[in-house]
Structure 1
């Protein structure tokens, strides 16, 4: 196709007005498309992107950063684990950041200790990020750090000082309470709990939700068991609980632990759900296809990520205004074949 805008060697690079002319739109529309802003029709967006590609036009990020004082990048500090919950949350954070037209910088911390988190944040600040997301679920004390950009803490309270700190819950307390209440509603006298590692904030949140549900019903609180999120630790717990015939219901703080728990119980001669009901936590879709299909509560990873990034962008782009109200995350119980009334009912 002949555009009338072909450029030979030594010619100046294409400009936004060249893209606008070729696409048949205004320069403002070009700016909106290339900055991933709303209020542009799909057809105009398609034409602008096609024209930019044909001309070899690239947005001058450095110039835009100098003009705005921002780099349009967000840093994320995350625990270096491949667990379904952690990985799913990070995937949705990445989608929310990129959908907003920002670049993503990711740093992992292997242990979640204060020094490691501080080092990860310092590394991101050296890259000139406009804001930081901390998806760090381990509790090991205050982080000795002051940060001059807004910081979003997902699923945990603030652990260091920033120019503006934001917190968005993933609703673990209410999800744990809902899982426990489901088992009590089925007629179980009490519910045992297989928790995660003690030093994780996510463990604390889920334990408190379980305790709140038992207390509200006047149910006895059995001794707590701790796993390490793995199916192997769930299997060991299942073998340990199988010898206690008073155990009829267990809420596991993670789906993988729940699957291991079921295997341990069944191997020791306890049927699921006829003898013991089991509820997991996370909502891993894979476990709809095991036997029995796992009853679980689904973590609202997408809703929490979208809500958190919305607040963080507001703090970055409108620093002198009040934050919009925070929406509570949804609570979703997925009832499948691993739960039933206790044997006596």
Structure 2
């Protein structure tokens, strides 16, 4: 690339062909420009009698706003192949500084057009920690095509990459609705994925969109609550979605809690069911400060243990002798419902 001074009358700053927007406010560049001016020459490409910007959109804009007549720039010739220009532009972007999810989505969208999914150079994918699975670049391109609102949420830093890819193929309303919720909840990546998967599975089973689940009255009551902080909202939403996804298990858990309360166990005793109420390995946990307290706990619990009141905990749906279906059976029932609805 040649290095030369280009005047702003020669540069078409309205042409944004090569722009990769950050969609996140940062004062670092502005502060650096104010202190030192332009240290790294912007890149241009000649197009007829004018130039278009390739890299350095903000630097060029700052120079023009501050009364400069132009700037020293590196120039791509008019005959330079567009794939070569994009390759250098993207390589500089990737390895110069950390990129956010919005930038990654835009870059992947460009690479798909320039190289086709199967021909994208591997060093670009590894440089961005992007899987080389055939479907992944297309998902990033869909996120890029989502528009400004989607890209701003991706750039916020609050959305986990895997969660973003999981919703890439959702309809626009559902995708943006869920991304907005995840941004507000500020929860971990694993919890974001859990929420996404539950909503998707519920939506498929009930033949609804993801937005229908998110915007349902019970969900909105949690998300719009002024009494809950973001952690409490996250936990309340997870509980609700688990209840909707596995209704029989949730019903059993609620019944178990009510039975324990009715039983009136001493405060030092906990009865712990097997995971998902599957199997017969129940546990009892005792908490005490010494032998005297232990004697009191055992004495107060003896009448409960020797009565038939304890049997209620092992009954399902209040039907004596009716066993609780295994967790595998309950999950199979839910999956069958989902499969039948998909068909």
TM-score, normalised to structure 2, is 0.25
More helix by share: 2
More strand by share: 1
Give the structure, 1 or 2, with the largest relative contact order (CA under 8 Å, sep 6 or more): 1
The structure having more radius of gyration, on CA atoms, is: 2
TM-score, normalised to structure 1, is 0.25
